[in-house]
Amino acid sequence: MKQTGKAKRNTVLTALAAVSALVLAVWQSLLLQSKFDFDTHTYDPGTASPMLMLAVLAVFVLFFLSTLVWKKEKTEETLSRGGVLLSVSASLCGAALLVSCGLFFHTMLFSGLPYAGNPDRAQYALKLASALLAIPSAVYFFRIAFSRQKLSRPAVMLSFAPVAYTAVFLVGVYYDRSIRLNSPVRILDQLALIALMLALLYESRFQMERPNARLYKAFAWSALPLLGVSAIPHAVMMAGGSYAMDASGAGYAFAAFCALYLAVRLFSLSDSEQEEVSIEQTEADAVETEADAGEKDNEQN
């Protein structure tokens, strides 16, 4: 089916967001390896590259947020419920959440430091809440990955679990005392998690059949470059052995996989009116095929 001008624009903007996320992820990963001091959690003094990277990031984020004031289209959009890439990306998100949950409880059981003996009980409670919320969040993503059917009313509530998980993870990052408050990486992590949380929140509106595609696209497009300078480099550094593999690291891996998931979701957006026409056309073609087959059988008889 031929794409409309609106669909082409969505495809171009999604491709731009994905490319910007990839470029910024490579840029930030190189900076973390060569120009970043992990003791102070700041870039090396006199390094101009981080400022240039942040300027490029700001341009992309402001541009994607400006789509909120663009001319509003009359047709609403829907999210596709199928596709191999969607299944793969959603499965990766669900797997990262389960790993995060498993790592937390493994540490809790074998570290000998339960809640009562933890010096930072608030941080411990936030990590426990994240681990518990990771389970329904993983169920939601696996439901998206392996089911082509529309979510039922009770299952729709699962769409809020990733939002809650991201929110609790965000609060945990905010109150993390092991990183300086003015660390640029810490600030970028919080901005990326806020954008991801908003994108997941407006995805849940699609599941509730109350979509707001304009806000969903704006936040999802903005989340991609932000995740490119935050979660993806964290996942790369963790895979390379520079970061410890723990529950928080798996949480950043989940956010990194969410970048792929959001990109696939954005590419799958389609006009609801066109989708209805396509379904009607498919049904009409099926009826016509059955009629032709019946005529051939009658001729043979």
**290 domain residue, yes or no:** no
Task: Tell whether the model's pLDDT for residue 196 goes beyond 50.
Answer: yes
**280 domain residue, yes or no:** no
Candidate from 56-60, 78-82, 125-129 with smallest mean pLDDT: 78-82
pLDDT bin (cut points 50, 70, 90) of residue 180 is confident
**246 domain residue, yes or no:** yes
**295 domain residue, yes or no:** no
**59 domain residue, yes or no:** yes
Task: Tell whether the model's pLDDT for residue 247 goes beyond 90.
Answer: no
**CA-closest candidate to residue 203, choices 163, 230, 165:** 163
Q: What is the pLDDT, as a whole number, of residue 273? A: 38
DSSP H helical ranges for the chain: 5-34, 49-65, 84-110, 121-146, 153-156, 161-174, 184-207, 213-229, 231-239, 247-267, 272-300
Six-digit token string for 23: 């470029």
**Domain total of the chain:** 1
**291 domain residue, yes or no:** no
The boundaries of the domain holding residue 218 are: 5-270
**185 domain residue, yes or no:** yes
Percent pLDDT > 90 in the chain is 36
